Amino acid sequence: MRKQRESSRTSARKRQVGFTVKEPFVDNTPIEKIERKPDLISSEGRRERRPRGVIKNTSDAEQVGSSDYLMNIQNRHSNQTIYILGNGPEIACLDDRTYETIKNGISIGTNATHLIFPKTTYYVAGHPIHYVLNCKHGLVDKSRFYHGWDITQDIDYEKNRTVRYENIPRSPVYSEEYRNQISFSAINIACLMNPSRIIFIGIDMKSNQRFYDQNTSLKEKLLEQVKSIQKEAKSSQLSEDTNNTINILTGKMSINYANTYGSFRGEYTRVFKEMRSIGIQPVIHNANSILAEAGADILENIDERSSSNHSGKKRKSKNTK
């Protein structure tokens, strides 16, 4: 009877999300008796073949904060789900159940996602202003990854659990041509961790709109945060990036992102094919996206939203002044 109930719950999950659900890997072997297997990604960045499974290391409590722990991300989340969070309009329109699932899962934030998800597991940025914004106004459980200009004058990398992106290995899906595009950086990081699937939220690559463009209070909050950093900026790199961001937020400067995103479709197609070859399923939460066109699996019922949203206004008592 118990097996029948478990089978029923599994079938329900399959119907709900619309793709094969991989059962969680449970390993009850004592740590001292576990045989270490070769890593999926070698330290030199070569692809290695090994059975999928969990590699036990010393506990996070013993390692978090150490430079070795921050950099050694290979196979850290074997057979788990990782959410990569973008800054598209979708991220502010998640229903309560989806929001809580992401919040309690393994997530990689990017750019200004701290306005919607104040705390993520990881964070990655390429622009100095985005990185400093997250250090000052966001939280991470594990570590941040940064591949922009050196701004040690402005921020303490070690204090903010930061790894320079160029110091981590390259996964089999690493994109050289688009290495500075934030979603490809996040994919490389996520694939090094060897999950069973990566779910993309707020990454449609078709719109010039960011989630904060549709919410005046969020945009004003972001502008206020950027201006406060502008006053404290010491390096010319952070100062320049901050000024450009202020000009964009106030409408003095515009960038047509949509015109450039179309060129990414072919690279996403290659990346998703490579992900599947190493056992990682790409999943998109928005059917109207270049990622869906590139071959990512699509969640069912993605257009169904609750009447409430997570634009920051609803959680004003927690996230706004």
| Residue-level pLDDT at 66 | 54
CB < 8 Å & 24+ apart, contacts of 253-261: 255/208, 256/208, 257/207, 257/208, 258/206, 258/207, 258/208, 261/205, 261/206, 261/290
Are residues 298 and 282 in contact, defined by beta-carbon separation less than 8 angstroms? no
pTM for the model stands at 0.74
Q: Is the alpha carbon torsion for 168, 264, 195, 275 positive or negative?
A: negative
Bridge pairing between strands 119-125 and 139-146: parallel
Tell me the CA distances in angstroms from 126 to 43, 89, 190, 278, one per residue in order: 23, 20, 16, 27
| Per-residue model confidence as pLDDT tens digits over 247-273 | 999 999 877 766 666 678 889 999 999
**Residue 107: per-residue pLDDT:** 97
Q: What percent of the chain has pLDDT over 70?
A: 69
Count how many Cα atoms sit within 13 Å of the Cα of residue 186 in the half-sphere of its side chain: 27
- Profile the chain (321 residues) by mean pLDDT over runs of 10 residues: 46 34 33 33 38 32 52 88 94 91 95 96 96 97 92 93 87 81 92 95 84 93 97 95 95 74 84 95 89 88 36 36 35
What pLDDT is recorded for position 162?
93
CA distances from 165 to 187, 220, 276 (A): 12, 30, 24
Give me the domains of the chain, ranges plus CATH numbers.
61-211+258-319 (3.90.1480)
Q: What is the pLDDT of residue 189?
A: 94
Q: What is the DSSP string of 185-200?
A: HHHHHHHHT--SEEEE
pLDDT, tens digit (0-9, with 9 covering 90-100), for 31-60: 333 233 333 333 344 344 333 322 233 334
Q: How far apart are CA 89 and CA 216, in angstroms?
A: 13
Angle at 166 between CA 163 and CA 171, to 5 degrees: 100
